[in-house]
Amino acid sequence: MSTTQQQAPDDAVVARLSTLDRFLPVWILVAMAAGLLLGRSVSGLDDALARVEVASVSLPIAIGLLVMMYPVLAKVRYDELGHVTADRRLLVASIVLNWLVGPALMFALAWLMLPDLPEYRTGLIIVGLARCIAMVLIWNDLACGDREAAAILVAINSVFQIVAFAGLGWFYLDVLPGWLGLGDDGAGGGLDVSVWSIAVSVLIFLGIPLLAGFLTRTLGERAKGREWYEARLLPAIGPWALYGLLFTIVVLFALQGDTITSQPLDVARIALPLLAYFALMWAGSFLFAMALGMTYERTTTLAFTAAGNNFELAIAVAIGVFGVTSGQALAGVVGPLIEVPVLVALVYVSLWARKKFFPR
What is the dihedral sign for C-alpha 133, 139, 141, 146?
Answer: negative
Q: Which domain holds residue 321?
A: 3-357
Task: Kindly list the distances between the CA atom of residue 13 and the CA atoms of 9, 231, 299, 300, in Å, as whole numbers in the listed order.
Answer: 6, 16, 19, 17
Instruction: Concatenate the DSSP letters of all residues of 122-159 into one string.
Output: HHHHHHHHSB-SSTHHHHHHHTT--HHHHHHHHHHHHH
Residue 192's pLDDT is 62
Q: Are 326 and 119 in contact (CB under 8 A)?
A: yes
- Torsion region of 18: left, alpha or beta (phi above 0 gives left; psi -120 to 50 gives alpha): beta
* Cα 349 from chain centroid (whole Å): 17
Q: Can you list the residues of the chain whose pLDDT is less than 50?
A: 1-16
Residue 6's pLDDT is 44
Residue 16's pLDDT is 47
Residue 341's pLDDT is 86
Residue 21's pLDDT is 66
Residue 1's pLDDT is 41
> H/E element holding 255?
helix 239-262
According to DSSP, the β-strands at 57-58 and 53-54 are: antiparallel
Closest CA to 185 of 327, 313, 334: 327
Number of domains in the chain: 1
Full-model pTM: 0.79
The C-alpha torsion from 124 through 126 and 132 to 138, rounded to 10°, is -40
Burial, 231: exposed, middle or buried (Cβ in 10 Å; 0-12, 13-18, 19+)? Answer: middle
CB atoms within 10 A of CB 115: 11
Collapsing DSSP states into helix, strand and coil, what is residue 53?
strand
Which CATH number does the domain housing residue 348 bear?
A: 1.20.1530.20
pLDDT in tens, 284-325: 999 999 999 999 999 999 999 999 988 777 877 887 777 766
> H/E element holding 58?
strand 57-58
> H/E element holding 57?
strand 57-58
pLDDT in tens, 203-258: 887 788 889 999 999 999 999 999 999 999 988 998 898 898 888 888 877 876 77
How far is Cα 34 from Cα 251, in angstroms, rounded to an integer? 9
Residue 193's pLDDT is 62
